[in-house]
Amino acid sequence: MAKAKPKASPKKGRKAKASSAASVPQQDTAERQVMIAEAAYFIAEQRGFTAGDELSDWLQAEGEIRTRLQQP
């Protein structure tokens, strides 16, 4: 009869990190995505909807929303 292997214990000094997505409720994440999408739309509108800058619009919008949500 084979012996059962002992379960691996976590290494001392290390804590499991909770992912940032896991700490934010699903509804809040969806609301944030909508806010970012709307902000990205208005950024694109301001620059005349020229093609090729969609990613930079989205990243700029993410930064603006993150800043706005961190303010008290």
Which of the 8 DSSP states describes residue 21?
H
For residue range 1-50, list pLDDT tens digits in order. Answer: 556 655 555 555 555 454 455 566 776 999 999 999 999 999 999 999 99
Q: Where are the domains of the chain?
A: 20-70
How high is the pLDDT of residue 71? 82
Question: Alpha-carbon distance 59 to 56, whole Å?
Answer: 5
Reported pTM: 0.62
